[in-house]
Amino acid sequence: MPVALDALVLPAFEELDPLPAAGETEPWHDAYDLSERVDVPGTLAPLYHDADGLGVVPTGIGKAAAATTTAALRAGDAVDLSDALVLSVGIAGAPPDLPIGSVVIADEIVDWDDKCRFDPDDGDCEDDGSDGGDVPIAPDPYTEGQGVFDLDPGLVSDAADLAAGVALESIGEESEPTVTVGTNVCADELWHGRTVAEHVSGFLEALDRGPYRATEMEDAGTVAALRRFGLADRYLSVRGISNHDRPAPGESSRESFEASLTEAGLETGLANAVRVARAVVDDRRV
């Protein structure tokens, strides 16, 4: 008999070297009695759940892993998701105007990889009006609209209302973190830098979307799988900002990336994302 879940939380990873912080599943095991185990064919790890219908299983990193795990959970007969709220909860990058530790509740998810890329030396790229000049990318005419996912506005609004009552951790002299609703950009590549950030912004403008508030690597795969099964209207993405996506002036992208993944940023971003997601989950289970 399948395990009926009221809420399914999908972190990306349990432990990940060389990140100097705990995995994304650990806070859920610390907060709930997830003592029941279910082995689901097609997932990377067992699903653990409690007696009240909360299940947690990591998807793996990247859209392919997330989509495969989500499809395996829905298509198999080990769990029943017919009444479940599905949440992606984890860390993310962000533009530098969003303080570390802030939480982004996505109202739309855009697949950064669903595009055309051109040689920037061709001289026929579109000028997005930014300091980056010509942007050598454009929407893919063969997959128009497939890479954009609008999330249920009622769910998003309710989550934002609940998040307003959540106290967020902050880091030292960093600006106070906030909860914001906005665009989440999902990519298979782990990118970092000013030029790429300008290209992302230009791409979103071409789609009449954005501006983006979070960048991550799984959620487009998760929501794409849910949409195939008619469950995308019960999906939320809650991401805590662990680092910024570009260097400060005078700093290289590689140096900035390596320095940005601090233990404090990773732990605070994850802790705040989990706090907001727990408010949503616990309200549903009252």
Question: 26 pLDDT exceeds 50?
Answer: yes
Asked if the 3-285 domain carries CATH number 3.40.50.1580, the reply is: yes
Q: Write down the H helix ranges in 36-152.
A: 63-75
Question: 133 pLDDT exceeds 70?
Answer: no
**Strand 54-56 to 7-10 pairing:** parallel
What would the pLDDT profile of 203-232 be if each residue is shown by its tens digit? Answer: 999 999 999 999 999 999 999 999 999 999
How far is CA 76 from its chain centroid?
24
What would the pLDDT profile of 66-117 be if each residue is shown by its tens digit? Answer: 999 999 999 999 999 999 999 999 999 999 999 999 999 999 999 999 999 9
Please name which of 82, 87, 80 lies closest in space to residue 56, comparing C-alpha atoms.
87
The two most distant CA atoms of the chain are separated, in Å, by 61
Mapped onto helix, strand or coil, the DSSP state of residue 254 is helix
Contact call for residues 183 and 213 (beta carbons, < 8 A): yes
Q: CA-CA distance, 220 to 114, in Å (whole number)? A: 10
